[in-house]
Structure 1
Amino acid sequence: MTNTDLSQTSEPTLFDYRPITQRPAIRWPGGARVAAYIGLNVEHFLLDRPSTSIWPGTADLVPDALNYGWRDYGARVGVWRTMDILDRHGIRASVLLNSMVAQRYPQIIEAGRSRDWAWLAHGKTNSILHTGMSLDDERHVLTEIVDTIADATGQRPRGWMGPGLTETLNTPALLAELGLSYVLDWTNDDQPYELNVPGLMSVPYTLELNDLGLFGKGTTGPEFLQIVKDQYEQLHADSADSGRVMALALHPFVTGQPFRAKYLDQALAFLAAQPDIWLTTSDEIAEHYRRTGGQQERRKA
């Protein structure tokens, strides 16, 4: 199926239904059973718009010092603490980057370039969802986002995740037009799979193993550590016949808080010690699947 006209439908023609039990086996490099990556959200928020909040009572105020300051902690402090932890375990981040970060926080870009991070386009700012645009307007917006990130990082993004995981019905085709090869928005699988837009695939992301959701619901640091272990162990068990993907989603203003940092450190130490894991980037997962599993899936379709 190669239907790329997604603009007039109430059904998900972007992807087909194929249960995980009825697919060609995925084999990760080195015989690994689980491919894991860290999705590090590096974002910029606007002062005069409601955004992700820790306390909704002031979210509509301008300025909203309480919530803006909480978010801004990530860029000023939390991301640097998170970098140290990633470095300690030799892990490259897959960075979900708002393009405004390149203009606002060049020091973060410089630090990420020195660490060879993978850079994904994550909209312009997480204060504005990626929705409500005409085709031509969206083409212009996406082009500006991708070009800004490419110019700042020296690496043209291969992947996309919308702010708040938002897309329009035209987004996938426009991303493919710009040369991107995968999206993270559709969190409906433990494996990559081909989308019905030529050249575009879905790579697993997570709303569940996500610090913003977990700690926002009252999860403690020790509970977070156990959740990471449980996620890996179940995916490892599932992967006896075919590889799985484990995404760990982090926000520096959440996990970068001092009292949580040691539990992130312990969680990454656990993952780094596993013999059957491929600790990699979402870019490398997509590329490996493109060269191996994706081809098998297309032949079977």
Structure 2
Amino acid sequence: MSEGGSVQRLGPGFRWPGGARVGVIFNIAYEGWSEGQVPGIGPMGNPLKPGFFDANAASWGLYGPTRGIWRALETAARHGIRTSVMTNGVLAETWPDTVRAIHRGGHEVIAHSYGMDVIPVYLDESGQRENIRRTTGLIADLTGTAPTGWISPRGTGSAIHARLLAEAGYGHHGDCNDDDLPYLLREGEREIVAIPLTMDVNDLPSAIRYGNNARAMLEQFVDAFAAMRERETRPVMLDVTIHTHVYGRPAGHWVFDEIMRQVKAADDVWVGTREDAAQALRASRAALTDSGL
């Protein structure tokens, strides 16, 4: 979403590194909330009356740093897959060992706002700038590397947020859903790659919003993956996303493991991080057009 940037999209001639037409990105949503804040809804599915602290939802969310992130990192290491880990700045303050482990494991640390309750569209311009500065600094101070990618809570930036991210030195963001591929967004003299965060294979809406069991997410992946490889003719990208407090748990995590196994077995598919995807676009500028057709 942008207030006035120009867009260039990838045409049908684009290919992922190695010549692959289909690309897969594994995302891990590692989420935390500001002090005194909790997830808006917990595993029971019914929010409390306004003004009451939801201890159930708070405890549910804390599973992520306690157990879920470690299980997800172990699975990714076993398959030799580098993931993109959406990480809130508050977690660098409260669970620093986990954020260091993500970085040491070779994964991409994606800035995910200070907390899940800090959503850019609710902030004025100065508030958005401060949130970017604060989140970036917390992660960079801990890992020694400033994040190059950003995804806002619920993928919701603001009309000016992409410009502010570009001005802050970010190379890509995921606050969009309007393409099958990354595209280039120019904001004045700066540019930033927009990488859609596709929701087709995502544990939170599948399990929490729609009440599906874990096998339903696997079936969704299998069908989408087959369609992309066998029916589509144009280049496409598929996100596979889990949250550490949702399918970081054993009852659902086996699906993430199985999807990784199936993707690794496919020799016609590219697998990389969101930063890798941004770099692939920049290396393929000749494939960019004003329409993407």
For structure 1, which segment, 205-214 or 40-49, has the greater mean C-alpha deviation from structure 2 after superposition? 40-49
- Name the structure 2 match of 1:167: 157
Asked if the contact 2:39–2:61 (Cα under 8 Å) also holds between the matched residues in 1, the reply is no
Q: 1:59 to 1:75 in 2, by over 3 A?
A: farther
Q: Does 1:296 align with 2:284?
A: no
Alignment of 1:144-155 (within 5 A): 144-155=134-145
Q: Does residue 104 of structure 2 align to residue 83 of structure 1?
A: no
Displacement after TM superposition at 1:127 (Å): 2.0
> The residue matched to 2:53 in structure 1 has which SS?
coil
Amino acid at match of 1:51: P
Matches within 5 A, 1:223-242: 223-237=216-230, 240=233, 242=234
Please tell me whether residue 184 in structure 1 is matched to residue 177 in structure 2. Answer: no
Residue number in structure 1 paired with 2:89: 99
Match of 2:268 among 260, 276, 282: 276
Q: Does the Cα contact within 8 Å between 2:30 and 2:243 map onto a contact in 1?
A: yes
Deviation of 1:107 (Å): 1.4
**Whole-Å Cα distance in 2 between the matches of residues 155 and 59 of structure 1?**
41
Separation in 1 of the partners of 2:108 and 2:165?
Answer: 17
**CA shift for structure 1 position 273:** 0.8
Tell whether the 8 Å contact from 1:38 to 1:281 is kept in structure 2 after alignment: yes
Query: 1:137 aligned to 2:127?
Result: yes
| Rounded Cα–Cα distance in structure 2 between residues aligned with 1:257 and 1:295 | 43
Q: Does 1:287 align with 2:276?
A: no
- Greater CA deviation, 272-281 or 162-171? 162-171
User: 243, 246, 249: which one pairs with 1:257?
Assistant: 249
Separation (CA, whole Å) in 1 of partners of 2:124 and 2:230: 45
In the superposition, relative to structure 1, how do residues 284 and 59 fare at CA in structure 2: closer, same or farther (>3 Å)?
Answer: farther
Deviation at 1:264, TM superposition (A): 2.0
The verdict on how the C-alpha distance between 1:16 and 1:110 changes in structure 2, with shifts beyond 3 A counting, is: closer
SS in 2 for 1:131: helix
Q: Which SS does the other structure have where 1:35 is aligned?
A: strand
Structure 1 pair 185–238 and aligned structure 2 pair: CA distance change class (3 A): farther
**Is the CA contact (8 Å cut-off) linking 1:34 and 1:239 kept in structure 2?**
no
Q: CA 1:300 to 1:144, structure 2 compared with 1: closer, same or farther past 3 Å?
A: same
**What is the alpha-carbon distance in structure 2 between the residues aligned to residue 111 and residue 273 of structure 1?**
27
The total of aligned residue pairs comes to 287
Structure 1 residues without counterparts, runs of 5 or longer: 7-12
Q: Shift of residue 16 of structure 1?
A: 5.2
Alignment partners' CA distance in 1, 2:245 and 2:50:
20
Given candidates 109, 114, 121, the residue that maps to 2:111 is 121
Identity %: 25
SS at match of 1:100: helix
**Given the superposition, is the C-alpha separation of residues 280 and 62 from structure 1 closer, same or farther in structure 2, using an over 3 Å criterion?**
same
Moved over 4 A (4+): 13-18, 298-301
Task: Identify the match of residue 49 of structure 1 among 15, 34, 37.
Answer: 37
Report what 1:10 is aligned to: none
Structure 1 residue 167: deviation in Å?
1.4
Trace 1:191-202 onto structure 2 (pairs within 5 A). 191-197=181-187, 198-202=190-194
RMSD: 2.4
Q: Which digits, 9 at most, give the CA deviation of each residue in 1:215-268, with x for residues without a partner? A: 11122222211111112112223553x422111111011111221122221121
CA contact (8 A) 2:8 2:185 kept: no
Residue pairs, 1:50-69, within 5 angstroms: 50-54=38-42, 55-58=45-48, 60=50, 62-69=52-59
Match of 1:214 among 206, 219, 224: 206
Output the CA distance in 1 between the equivalents of 2:162 and 2:185.
Answer: 9
Cα distance per residue 1:52-100 (max 9 Å; x no partner) = 4223333745431111111111111111111221112111110111111
The reply on whether 1:25 has 2:13 as its aligned counterpart is: yes
TM-score, normalised on structure 1? 0.87
The residue type paired with residue 184 of structure 1 is G
How many angstroms apart in 2 are the aligned matches of 1:58 and 1:281? 37
SS at match of 2:121: coil
Give the Cα–Cα distance (whole angstroms) in 2 for the partners of residues 239 and 157 of structure 1: 33
Q: What is the CA–CA distance in structure 2 between the aligned matches of 1:5 and 1:73, rounded to whole Å?
A: 35
